[in-house]
Chains A and B, each alone.
Chain A
Amino acid sequence: MSRVTLADTIKKYGATQVIHGIDLEIEDGEFVVFVGPSGCGKSTLLRMIAGLEETSDGRISIGGREVTRLDPADRGVAMVFQTYALYPHMTVRENMGFGLKMTGHRKQEIDAKVSEAARILKLEPLLDRKPKALSGGQRQRVAIGRAIVRGPEVFLFDEPLSNLDAELRVDMRVEIARLHKEIGATMIYVTHDQVEAMTLADKIVVLRDGRIEQVGAPMDLYRDPDNRFVAGFIGSPAMNFFKAHVAGDMVDIEAFGRKVRQPVRQLPDRGPVVVGIRPEHLRVDPEGDTHQIDLVESLGGVSYLYLVSKSGERTIVEDRGDHHRRADDRVGLAFDPEAAFVFDAETGQRLR
């Protein structure tokens, strides 16, 4: 019912093109997260769906209805802004009911919907306050409430948690996930935080420089990235990349100081490649001496070791268990070849 379809969507500012022909299908009720580094066009794309930015070319449809040239209010979307964008002169109740008031709904109807949204978000005690008298988290809940009251086909979230402190961010993340379960509406969520993307999304869209790098379920992107960019962006701490050479069916990784049996089927015969290994798939080999421990971050159950190779390459290793590694120790590295990814050294495309 509320599918969102983008077909060859393009955005230009004068001569500068920032969105390069995006094609995307978002299913009814799906929670989709646009993720990417700043300047990748994720917010612009969201604002194009909202109608706050004009679409230069291509088509956008929501619920089977083309909306490309419609006003924001006529698209059946509601948006939650990073800055909350609450009307400062209105109470929480008035803020939430404003959209319905503008479309001429009756007061009882508005009150009923506002009360319902307030109940879902536990905002009842705050209804008569003004935004100024609320905390950041409360304001964001009101902003979400305002979106709920409008009863949209699609919810749009533009980095809604970036202005909150870390603890609150986790709470709100859980709350948004719960909300999605409760209302079941289509939601599109923009963030630069891959943890938010991983935890919230049914489907992640990784963007870079106005192009889609990969679309998929969070664990699919994690397990099976299409290219070096996605591999490096999804997962925390980020994947390690090593310069390597292919020789026959062996991969020679300089930093390891030895050849490894290659884990992929279609390697080029010879030449440079990049091997990517996640920190959790690397092991410290106490016998080796290819790396020096630069720093140890102990988080309790897990420690992150920051290693430097002889040639100066930096590597992060996840170390589980009680090993008492110390900075300046010399160690070697080992890994499971099955867990390694091989990328083209030039294009960054995954070789499989």
Chain B
Amino acid sequence: MASKRSPLSRLSQAQSAALLLLPFLATYALFLVYPFFRGVWISLHDWNLLEVAFNPDAKEFVGARNYVRVMWGRGIEWSAWARPGLQLFALAGLVLAAILHATRRIGRGPAIGLAAAALLLFVVAGIHAGEEGRWYDRRFWPTVGNTILFVALTVPGVTISALVLAAAMNRETRAMSVLRTLFFLSQVLSVTVVTLIWQIMFSPRQGLVANITELTGGSPVNWLTDERFAMAAIVIPTIWWSLGIAMILFLAGLQDISRDLYEAGALDHATGAKAFWYITLPNLKRTITVVIVLQIILHFQVFGQSHLMTQGGPNDETQVLVRYIYQTAFRDSELGRASAMAVFLFLIIGAFSVVQFLVGREKD
């Protein structure tokens, strides 16, 4: 099939590949790479959004001062018992990594990863403001903590419920394909619609949740303004919202598992829950890891749920990093400081992207 007149055929394969990639690379460079470096550059300046907009010279190079102002304080100390709970947990993680590796339950790479994460937690949790000291920005680390808590609740929630749904719906019947579509449907809604639906759901007067609470004899709570429930009130809609993609990935993973394995399992007394534990889960390990890492990356960027449902409240309980960046930049006009926070967020997400890349490359 010699397409003599096609202009593409006169180019070498590498040239035509470059040509086809060009539009993407140009867009990527213009809208992602350049803004990123611009952001890093801004983060090194004292940069007031409004002033610089009117007078480009109204910025001042300050080096790392924005980072210090955001992340550090006066009289910051470190001790091994600043937060005993967290730090003991971290030490337990360190021991667990050693045990798992010694008993050959996990390989060297995951063991090192787990140990490094545990060590990092141990060190970071030990940092605190001393007697006379104080943080320059009291809200930053609590906001980071809230974001991590949000991710820590959402990601297992999404992963486990998507996995259970996928396993239940992994059948070629009409009813199941209808259900699959229904469960995926929430994914296509925008965050505004999702939060609106759930604001109504959580409404203490007419909401479904309040009605159920009353039916079971409890007194309805105002989820969105109650300190104990506000985080749950943004986690639950998020799980409902982002279930679809994870479920589709799991369904694809499940369909990759040969039916023969379940038949062999049936002859080996492994059916039902045992089959799920001994055959399904091990064969889904990679899909599960990919889903978890993708969800972590996605949910660290949470903004809409917090902004629209709880406005970060009550008492900053649901204030999350992106919302804080947004407020610092566009409400307080502190573009430099906001950029420093954005770079911090980038590093977290970048770290998980590296994990995802490594997992994707890993054989077996």
Please determine whether A87 and B267 come into contact, CB atoms closer than 8 angstroms.
Answer: no
Q: Which residue of B lies closest to A88 (CB)?
A: B283
Contact of B266 among A52, A86, A90, A132 (CB under 8 A): A52
Q: Are the C-beta atoms of A102 and B260 separated by less than 8 Å?
A: no
With contacts A71-B271, A132-B364 known, is A87 near B264, CB below 8 A?
Answer: yes
Chain B CB within 8 A of A10 CB: no
The reply to whether A85 and B258 contact each other, CB–CB distance below 8 Å, is yes
Q: Is there an interface contact between B269 and A85, defined as CB atoms closer than 8 Å?
A: no
**Residues of chain A from 75 to 115 with CB closer than 8 A to chain B in the complex:** 77-79, 81, 83, 85-90, 98-99, 102-103
A83-B266 contact in complex given A73-B271, A88-B283, A89-B285, C-beta closer than 8 Å = no
Does B78 sit at the interface, judged by CB under 8 A? no
Q: Give the residue of A81, A102, A132 whose beta carbon is less than 8 angstroms from that of B268.
A: A102
Kindly provide the distance from the CB of B274 to the nearest chain A CB, expressed in whole angstroms. Answer: 6
Cross-chain contact of B270 among A52, A79, A98 (Cβ < 8 A):
A98
CB-defined interface of A282-319 with B at 8 Å, one 1/0 digit per residue?
A: 00000000000000000000000000000000000000
- Please measure, in the bound complex, the distance between the C-alpha atom of A90 and the C-alpha atom of B270, giving whole angstroms: 14
Q: Which residue of A lies closest to B259 (CB)?
A: A85
Which residues of the partner chain A approach B260 to less than 8 Å between Cβ atoms?
81, 83, 85
Q: Give every chain A residue within 8 A of B283 (Cβ-Cβ).
A: 88-89
Task: Report B-chain residues with C-beta under 8 Å of the C-beta of A81.
Answer: 260, 263-264
Which residue of A has the minimal Cβ distance to B260?
A85
**Chain A CB within 10 A, most for which of B264, B278, B285:** B264
| Chain B residues in 8 Å Cβ range of A89 | 282-283, 285
Mark A223-244 against chain B: 1 for CB-CB distance below 8 A, else 0: 0000000000000000000000
Interface string of B112-133 (1 = CB under 8 A from A): 0000000000000000000000
Judge if A50 is at the interface, Cβ distance under 8 Å.
yes
Nearest Cβ distance between residue A149 and chain B, in whole angstroms?
10
Chain B residues with Cβ under 8 A from A71's Cβ? 266, 271
Do A98 and B267 contact each other (CB < 8 Å), given the known contacts A81-B260, A83-B258, A132-B364? no
Residues of A within 8 A of B285 (CB): 89
Looking at the assembled complex, report how far the CB atom of B264 sits from the nearest CB atom of chain A, in whole angstroms.
4
| CB-contact partner of B267 in A78, A83, A86, A88, under 8 A | A78
Structural contact, B364 and A73, CB atoms closer than 8 A:
no
With CB as the reference atom, state the residue of chain A lying closest to B262.
Answer: A85
* A130 beta carbon closer than 8 Å to chain B: yes
Q: How far is the CA of A83 from the CA of B271 in the complex (A)?
A: 20
Q: Tell yes or no: A72 within 8 A of B by CB.
A: yes
B186 to chain A, nearest CB (A): 33
Whether a CB of chain B sits under 8 angstroms from the CB of A203 is no
The reply to whether B267 and A79 contact each other, CB–CB distance below 8 Å, is yes
A150: contacting residue among B268, B279, B364, CB under 8 A: B268
A77 vs B267: C-alpha distance when bound (angstroms): 8
Contact among B264, B270, B271, B364 for A85, CB-based, below 8 A = B264
A73 touches which of B258, B267, B279 (Cβ 8 Å):
B267
Query: Do B270 and A102 touch (CB < 8 A)?
Result: yes
| B26 interface contact, C-beta 8 A | no
Nearest CB in chain B to that of A90: its residue:
B282
B269 near A99 with CB under 8 A, answer yes
A87 touches B261 (CB 8 A): yes
Q: Nearest B residue to A74 by beta-carbon distance? A: B269
Shortest distance between the CB of A60 and any CB in chain B (Å): 15
A52 touches B279 (CB 8 A): no
In Å, the complex CA distance between A89 and B260 comes to: 14
In angstroms, Cα B267 to Cα A287, docked, is 63
**Which of A73, A103, A130, A132 has the most CB atoms of chain B within a 10 A radius of its CB?**
A73
**Given A89-B282, A102-B274, A130-B364, A79 contacting B264 (CB threshold 8 A):** yes
Q: Is the CB of B268 within 8 A of A98?
A: yes
The residue in chain B whose Cβ has the minimal distance to the Cβ of A143 is B264
Q: Which residues of A contact B271 (CB under 8 A)?
A: 71, 73
Q: How far is the CA of A71 from the CA of B264 in the complex (A)?
A: 12
Report chain B residues within 8 Å CB of A130. 364
Q: Which residues of chain B have C-beta atoms less than 8 A from A87's C-beta?
A: 261, 264, 278-279, 282
Residues of B within 8 A of A102 (CB): 268-270, 274, 278
Residues of B within 8 A of A103 (CB): 269
Chain B positions 229 through 254: 1 when the CB is less than 8 Å from some CB of chain A, otherwise 0: 00000000000000000000000000
A85–B268 alpha-carbon span in the complex (Å): 12
Which residue of chain A is the closest to B363 with respect to CB atoms? Answer: A132
Interface string of A111-150 (1 = CB under 8 A from B): 0000000000000000000101000000000000010001
B238 to chain A, nearest CB (A): 32
Collect the chain A residues with CB atoms within 8 Å of residue B282's CB: 87, 89-90
Chain B neighbourhood of A72, CB < 8 A:
263, 266-267
Bound CA span A89–B364, Å: 8
CA distance A78 to B266 in the complex (A): 10
Q: Are B268 and A50 in contact (CB under 8 A)?
A: no
How far is the CB of B106 from the nearest CB of chain A, in Å? 13
**In the complex, what residue of chain B is closest to A75 when comparing beta carbons?**
B267
Most buried by A among B260, B268, B278: B268
Q: List 14 A-B contacts (CB under 8 A).
A: A52-B263, A71-B266, A73-B266, A73-B269, A73-B271, A85-B261, A86-B264, A87-B261, A87-B264, A89-B285, A99-B268, A102-B278, A150-B267, A150-B268
Q: Which residues of A contact B (CB under 8 A)?
A: 50-52, 71-73, 77-79, 81, 83, 85-90, 98-99, 102-103, 130, 132, 146, 150
Binding site for A on B (CB under 8 A): 258, 260-261, 263-264, 266-271, 274, 278-279, 282-283, 285, 364
Beyond A73-B266, A89-B285, 15 additional pairs, beta carbon < 8 A: A50-B267, A73-B267, A73-B271, A78-B267, A79-B267, A81-B260, A83-B258, A85-B264, A87-B279, A99-B267, A99-B268, A99-B269, A102-B268, A102-B269, A102-B274
Q: Top 9 nearest A-B pairs by Cβ distance?
A: A85-B260, A99-B268, A102-B269, A89-B282, A85-B264, A73-B269, A72-B266, A72-B267, A83-B260
